[in-house]
């Protein structure tokens, strides 16, 4: 079983819609959770971090964490074509190693 699981997609949404990206993790000792955006051929760019259960909002982005269900999600409101990228979920276990999912490819259709 992989440490972090993501649906690889592709996920397509129309411009202005809400994009919902999901991630599950296997280690209950996981402490920190991150979402990165990666454009093709580029390196990952940090979007959000979340450490406690509940929602965390930053602009058009909302991260949601449910430790009981071992589930973390990212909502992108008012999706723009520039949001088209691969979104990586990352989990930090015991403050040391980071485990990344394989990413979900998002396409925002104008």
Partner 1 sequence: DTGVSQDPRHKITKRGQNVTFRCDPISEHNRLYWYRQTLGQGPEFLTYFQNEAQLEKSRLLSDRFSAERPKGSFSTLEIQRTEQGDSAMYLCASADRDRGRREQFFGPGTRLTVL
Closest of 67, 76, 88, 72 to residue 19, by C-alpha: 76
Longest dimension (CA), the chain: 42
Our CB check for partner 1 shows the closer of 47 and 76 to be: 47
Our CB check for partner 1 shows the closer of 14 and 39 to be: 39
39-45 LR contacts (CB < 8 Å, sep 24+): 39/85, 39/86, 40/85, 40/86, 44/88
Binding mask 75-104 for partner 1 (x = CB under 8 A): -------------x-x-x--xxxxxxxxx-
Contact pick of 4, 19, 74, 76 for partner 1 (by CB under 8 A): 4
Instruction: Report the interface residues with partner 1, using CB under 8 A.
Output: 4, 8, 31-32, 34, 36, 42-46, 49, 51, 88, 90, 92, 95-103
């Amino acid at each position: 079983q992989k440490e972090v699981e993501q649906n690889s997609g592709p996920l397509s949404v129309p411009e202005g819609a809400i994009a919902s990206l999901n991630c599950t993790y296997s280690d209950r000792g996981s402490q920190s959770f991150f979402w990165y955006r990666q454009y093709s051929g580029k390196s990952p760019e940090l979007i959000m971090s979340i450490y406690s259960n509940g929602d965390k909002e930053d602009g058009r982005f909302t991260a949601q964490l449910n430790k009981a269900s071992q589930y973390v999600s990212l909502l992108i409101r008012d999706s723009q074509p520039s949001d088209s990228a691969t979104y990586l979920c990352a989990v930090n276990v015991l403050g040391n190693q980071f485990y990344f999912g394989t990413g979900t490819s998002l396409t925002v259709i104008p």
